[in-house]
Amino acid sequence: MKTITIKNLEGFSGTILIPVFETYAKSLVPIEFHGVAVPSKVFYGKKDSHYVVEKYDCLHIFIGLGKAIDYKDLKTIFRRISSKQKESFGSNVALVLPEQFSAEQVEATVSGLLLGTYDLGHFKKTENHPFLNDGFKLSIISKKETDEAVLKAIKIATAQLEILNLVDLPPNVVNPKYLSNWANESGKKYGFEVETLGFEASKKAGLGAFLSVGKGSENEPQFVIMNYVPENTNAKTKHIGLVGKGITFDTGGLNIKTTGMLHMKCDMAGGAAVFGAMQLIADLKLPVKVTAIVPCAENSVDAKSFLPSDVIHSYSGTSIEIIDTDAEGRLVLADGLSYLIKNFKPEYVIDIATLTGSSVGTFGYECGALFTNNESISKKLQESGDAIGERLWQLPLWECYKSDIESDIADVKNYSGKPVAGAISAAKFLEYFTEEHKAWAHLDIAGVAFGDDEFAKSKHATAYGVHLLTKFIENLSH
Ligand code: BES
Ligand code: ZN
Ligand code: ZN
């Protein structure tokens, strides 16, 4: 989506979007803009309300924001207008930015408008959203300088749109190879290095936990390694490591899922969040070094699948007893974490994954589960999430939970076998592979990566994590 800044509406004809903060409902003074007066009995800026007036060759859409509004609600309101009013848009649309808008509010508004172009009907004949047509330019009217915030908003939403696509496309399209190709393309376009280990290279490297998960699939696993280095690095440049779960479909393996399998194309959403964050970090040219790993595999049912009770050997040399083949995410993450920490030694390590049903049971669809032994990281991650409406809440990593992963036959087992504290014991398992890293955090996003909302009839992707990871890294850099 392209934008231009215009000084006023002189000579403009088309649709005008006018955000309005709430005024006193019984105010006698009507809201007035561009010669159009709206009686306060009809519209007074109440949150989630809007009012349309056609006058002077223009369609005026007054958009209620309430008395105060947070980032996420503002973004949702503009996503709604963009997606549900698209028929009335035509090729000329102007956005009037209120003077009191902060840079973050400008960002939320513009990225909401661009996100509203997302259409889940990937396999249907649908017309382009007017914002995506060649030659379309959104006219922005603002008394303040907003170019930087507008540009940033477009970069954020562009990365999020890519990730909505990746997560919502079906698993017969998005297989591990599709993801490694996507990373290559994005790396070339935005400026980060990508190296992929296929089956043979992964075997040679000793990525035994990762490979065991993909054994039952026709689709070759891909261990994707990405590196972003900013233009000017010095001794103080921070180095962040990311790992994302890239299971392109989770049948459960031989411990086949009896419920919820339908939605398991979302099991690469953590990996997708890492891909989106890499694109966005490179696009924003953040002054940090980032190394990211997304182990991509499909957990399928086949004679070649790994078996419950198998003992496998991870990259770190740890032996793992497989109690349940459906606890596969922690296996690919274990190798991802070990490989990242051993070979790249980043200062901070964050992993993100749709890891457990237990985290959904605990938090529902409202926030991700956060695990870390580093209170400063915990605070920074939560603050970054709160600022943009991608919330996190911390759960414990106490030593008493370690017995859940103690095995009789091997160094560790991949599941406690008990239907309690599932998200915590999964996190304890991952911790085992972090070499006691002092600044590691694990984000279990099973409840927030894929869900129901007003934008479609069925569950679909949210792009949770793309902005959160980027914001956290951006905040670290200053
Ligand atoms: N991919 C699932 C977790 C999941 C659940 C993601 C709901 C998205 C929505 C994960 O691999 C899984 O199957 N976890 C099991 C682990 C159990 C067998 C130890 C779970 O949480 O039930
Ligand atoms: Zn599983
Ligand atoms: Zn899974």
Write the pLDDT tens digit of every residue in 414-434.
999 999 999 999 999 999 999
Q: What is the pLDDT at residue 25? A: 72
Q: What is the pLDDT at residue 457? A: 96
- Reported as a pLDDT band with limits 50, 70 and 90, residue 29 is confident
2: alpha, beta or left? (left if phi > 0; alpha if psi -120 to 50): beta
Best mutation site among 258, 323, 355 for ligand 1, i.e. most ligand atoms within 8 A of its Cβ?
355
Q: What is the Å distance from ligand 1's center to 355 Cα?
A: 6
Listed in sequence order, the residues at least 6 apart from 223 whose beta carbon sits closer than 8 Å to its beta carbon are 196, 197, 198, 201, 202, 205, 207, 210, 293, 295, 296, 335, 336, 339
Nearest ligand to the C-alpha of residue 259? Answer: 1
Indicate the SS3 state at residue 100.
coil
Give the range among 120-129, 254-263, 352-361 with minimum mean pLDDT.
120-129
Mean pLDDT of all residues belonging to the chain: 97
Q: What is the pLDDT at residue 367? A: 98
Write the pLDDT tens digit of every residue in 132-172.
999 899 999 999 999 999 999 999 999 999 999 999 999 99
State if residue 357 touches ligand 1 by the CB under 6 angstroms criterion.
yes
- Reported as a pLDDT band with limits 50, 70 and 90, residue 27 is confident
Q: DSSP of 108-147, one letter per residue?
A: HHHHHHHHTT--S-TTS--PPPGGGSTT-EEEEE-SS--H
Indicate the SS3 state at residue 311.
strand
Q: What is the pLDDT at residue 24? A: 78
Q: What is the Å distance from ligand 3's center to 79 Cα?
A: 30
Q: What is the pLDDT at residue 41? A: 87
State if residue 404 touches ligand 1 by the CB under 6 angstroms criterion.
no
Residue bearing the CA closest to ligand 1, atom 17 = 327
Residue bearing the CA closest to ligand 1, atom 13 = 326
Residue bearing the CA closest to ligand 1, atom 14 = 356
Asked if 125 contacts 49 with a C-beta cutoff of 8 angstroms, the reply is no
State if residue 159 touches ligand 1 by the CB under 6 angstroms criterion.
no
Write the pLDDT tens digit of every residue in 292-315.
999 999 999 999 999 999 999 999
Best mutation site among 266, 326, 416 for ligand 1, i.e. most ligand atoms within 8 A of its Cβ?
326
Integer Cα distance of 82 and 105 in angstroms? 16
Query: How many C-beta atoms lie closer than 10 Å to residue 455's C-beta?
Result: 18
Write the pLDDT tens digit of every residue in 195-228.
999 999 999 999 999 999 999 999 999 999 999 9
Listed in sequence order, the residues at least 6 apart from 13 whose beta carbon sits closer than 8 Å to its beta carbon are 56, 57, 58, 92
Section 80-90 average pLDDT: 93
State if residue 290 touches ligand 1 by the CB under 6 angstroms criterion.
no
Atom of ligand 1 minimally distant from the CA of 415: 19
Percent of the chain with pLDDT over 90: 94
Q: What is the pLDDT at residue 125? A: 93
Q: Which residues are designated catalytic?
A: 257, 330
Angle between helices 329-344 and 422-431 (to 10 degrees): 30
Strand partners, 62: 18, 51
State if residue 431 touches ligand 1 by the CB under 6 angstroms criterion.
no
Q: What is the pLDDT at residue 56? A: 86
